[in-house]
Amino acid sequence: MPFKTAIVKTLDLKLDEQNPRFVVNQQKNLTQEEIINYLLEYEDISGLAKSINNYGGLLPGERLLVIYENNNYIVLEGNRRTTAMKLLLEPSLIPNEYKNDFPIITDICRKNIEEIQVDIVDSRDEALYPLTKRHIDGIKHWKPISKLYFYKKQFDEGKSIDDLKRLTGESKKNIKEYLRKFSFLKCMIDSTGNKSITKKTIITQLETDLITGRIYNASKKHFSIPYHPDTYELDFSKVPNKKKEIFTDILRNFAHLIWFEKDENIKLTSRKINKVADFEELFIDGNETTEAIPIYKKIKEKIALFKTIQDNTDGNDELHKTNNSPKVEQIQLDLISNNRNQNEKKNEETETRKNDNVPKNNNTLNNNTPKNNIANIKPAIQNQNNDSIRKQPKPKERKFLFEGIVYSGKHKGIQRTLYEIQRLDIDKFTLSATYLMRTLLECALQEYLIHNNLFNNWNKPNYDPSLTDLINYCKQHNIFSSINKNFQRVINNAHALRDADVLNSIAHAKYNLPDPNTLRSIENRWYIFLEFLLK
């Protein structure tokens, strides 16, 4: 449809604070300076300004779309171009840190952009169609979070799913999913309780695709909290308070890992969770990385606990239980906190009694025991004569690094390094232990690769590889995936947690201080793998 047009001075135009790009702080009236600063930081305005200056103005068909509100022409479509032109015309508006990024405007460009022709709409609704065609499936796509906010804002203002379908051409199924994703994202933001989250935090550190893609999809599979069929928001009406608290705590921990965590080895990024299976490996099944990072382990345990709590319709907060099992809640919590399975425990106790010729107790669980009698089992076991059951002694803790590993090969470096590291008090000689650990891992990994003809793809034959090189090589070529997937996982975790860089930074004695706990953490990750390498 044709619009009314007008000639206006570019410097008189106002940027639109309601633009979906400015999704955060919607309750706050953004100043023109704040909008300019945001666009400079995240939307490559300097590059656009150079293009406009080189061309001598706007391209044909690039007219801005404006609305006349409160005695001002407000730009509804074309905020980036308007900002670029304003800063070319008035360099004093450019913050000092960006001044060198902008060209000096040419006379031709100045003449062509001092006053420009704009299209005028009578209402914001009238501008929706050209806005969506340009930014949702057109020339300049909004960031994913801006698209989510656009749909949420229009839906809350009264537009139906059918209205939005006609407006944007998007399927109703996708629109509903966008609204659910926005609700999930908002719930994660709210879980932080941090009212000082800035535009920079949300836009640059939000990892929107990570949250509204991988974590959101995993949450649908593992958290099973429904979305309201009319509002498409998370619906906690039939979720017990305890379950909601755990869910909120899980989101709070994810928010910390994504937005606030400073340690790049711990910080959660889309590189660590590339698909739902990666999420499950870290936070459902657990692996070496989960065990090595306390907050990862905490999330895994919280998810396990979350799954034990039953939804109900009467508002009572209860764990799964039957009428005859009042102690099931405590049993389940014990199982989760101790990371063991009840069936395994029963099998172990049964096997122990067989080996020691201990008569079966009538209360002992067997295959025919009804599930609702499970609460009576624990007291029965406790009442048995402890002297009649032989128990597994507590495993001996390793005092020295890699203690118990024996190497019978001929590599002198490995022989000497393993000999010394197994006799060194790492609390007293931490720096020396760091050197020995780095040398041992490097020599063992390289020796294994060469001995088994797995180093043929190394393209620097005259260069002796470092531990960093070797880990990168094994990860890049998936060296151990066909040998043992768990060993390949050790390599992947060592790469993700930057084990080699950590050892290097300590060994250089100027980046990180020697830390025995760091060495023990790396040793725990590598112990079984190193034992395999040295066999």
| E strand intervals along 93-143 | 115-121
498: in domain = yes
Q: What is the DSSP letter of 358?
A: P
Domain co-membership, 177 together with 301: yes
Phi, psi torsion values for 287, nearest 5 degrees: -145, -165
What residue ranges in 161-254 does DSSP mark as E strands? none
Judgement on whether residues 456 and 523 belong to the same structural domain of the protein: yes
Q: Does 11 share its domain with 88?
A: yes
Count of domains in the chain? 3
Residue 53 has what DSSP assignment?
A: H
146 occurs within a structural domain: no
118 & 198 share domain: no
Clarify whether residues 246 and 129 are in a common domain. Answer: no
Residues 129 and 223 grouped into a single domain: no
- pLDDT tops 70 at residue 350: no
Q: Which residues contact 89 (CB under 8 A, 6 or more apart)?
A: 10, 11, 105, 110, 113, 114
Q: Is residue 20 part of a domain?
A: yes
Q: Is residue 57 part of a domain?
A: yes
Q: Classify the C-alpha dihedral 257-260-261-264 as positive or negative.
A: positive
Tokens representing residue 9 in the block: 């001075």
Q: Based on the fold, state whether residues 221 and 268 are members of the same structural domain.
A: yes
Cα three-residue angle 392-284-365, rounded to 5 degrees: 45
Within this chain, do residues 177 and 288 fall inside the same structural domain, yes or no?
yes
What mean pLDDT value characterizes the chain?
Answer: 78
**Rg of the Cα trace of the chain?**
31
Beta-ladder partners of 115: 9
Amino acid 120 reads: I
Same domain, 127 and 185: no
Domain range spanning residue 267?
Answer: 172-307
Q: Which of 7-11, 69-73, 428-432, 507-511 has the lowest mean pLDDT?
A: 507-511
Q: Are residues 127 and 195 in the same domain?
A: no
Tell me the pLDDT tens digit for each residue of 226-268. 999 999 999 998 889 999 999 999 999 998 888 788 888 898 8
Residues 28 and 105 both lie in one domain: yes
Q: Is the pLDDT of residue 72 over 50?
A: yes
Query: For residue 299, what pLDDT is reported?
Result: 93
Q: Tell me which of 307, 334, 365 is where a domain ends.
A: 307
Say whether pTM exceeds 0.85: no
